[in-house]
Amino acid sequence: MIFASSLIVGGVATAAAMHARELFWLGWLSAVPLFAAVRWLRPGQAGVSGGLWGLALLASHTFLTGESFGPGMGPLMAVVAGPALFGWLLSVYRRWNGFDPLTLAVGWLGVELLAAAAGMERGILAGTQNEFVVTGLGGQFFGYLFVALFIANTGALLTGPFGARRAVPDSALRRWIDAFSHFIRLCTRHLPRRLESSSRYAPRAPPIAYAVL
């Protein structure tokens, strides 16, 4: 319940930073609960967390401004389904490869691109920053995606001690694959010997006698 509340607060804080640019500092912290879900929760739970975070962002933005991010279903898909898909995919990646802040930040750029395609010119995280911060981070030269990448990477580092990575848990699928691979190795290891022994003791045809005419 506490974690769900932090996700809602994070979505509300993101909308507040978008609405009042003097609250730009909230943008550096508002996505941390979502990134923590990717780092510590299962893929399904991380996906639900992303959807909850995005839903809180959408509802708060509509309440503060009186309008949605744009017409149609595009903003809904970008703000709600985008973080949900991001949470699920990055959590799956983390289970197999471990947690990496930069990989999470690069994955978040997919959400930013989806938001830009839906009509949000500056995306989500870069949209929380005022012009001074964006210019200071090089946004005028590299684009707002670079700003979003920097903010997302910082937020990912805030999810836990630097360098601490959760061990990849063993899953039923991985254990099955390892057992099957071990079985294949055993079969291929003894197969040449069996072929050699079978060819050694196999009955042979009698020699053919050629008569000299």
Q: Is residue 209 part of a domain?
A: no
- How confident is the model at residue 84, as a pLDDT? 96
Task: Measure the CA–CA gap between 196 and 202, rounded to whole angstroms.
Answer: 10
- How confident is the model at residue 37, as a pLDDT? 94
- How confident is the model at residue 162, as a pLDDT? 44
> Is pLDDT above 70 for 155?
yes
Identify the domain containing residue 188 by its residue range.
Answer: 171-203
What's this model's pTM, rounded to 2 decimal places? 0.71
Residues 55, 153 share a domain? yes
Residues 175, 153 share a domain? no
Residues 175, 150 share a domain? no
Number of domains in the chain: 2
Q: Is residue 103 part of a domain?
A: yes
Q: Is residue 51 part of a domain?
A: yes
Residues 193, 90 share a domain? no
Cα-based distances in Å from 2 to 11, 33, 49, 139: 14, 11, 12, 35
Q: Is residue 163 part of a domain?
A: no
Residues 37, 104 share a domain? yes
Residue 6: exposure state from Cβ atoms within 10 A (0-12, 13-18, ≥19): middle
Instruction: Report how far Cα 69 is from the mean position of its chain's Cα atoms.
Output: 24
Residues 104, 75 share a domain? yes
Q: Is 161 helix (H, G, I), strand (E, B) or coil?
A: coil
Residues 110, 176 share a domain? no
Residues 149, 61 share a domain? yes
Pick the closest to residue 20 from 124, 118, 112, 127 (CA basis). 127
Find out whether 60 and 11 touch, Cβ atoms under 8 Å.
yes
Residue 153: exposure state from Cβ atoms within 10 A (0-12, 13-18, ≥19): middle
- How confident is the model at residue 117, as a pLDDT? 82
Structure tokens at 202: 């196999």
Q: Is residue 127 part of a domain?
A: yes
46-67 pLDDT, tens digit each: 999 999 999 999 899 888 877 6
Task: Measure the CA–CA gap between 206 and 202, rounded to whole angstroms.
Answer: 13
State the average pLDDT for the chain.
Answer: 78
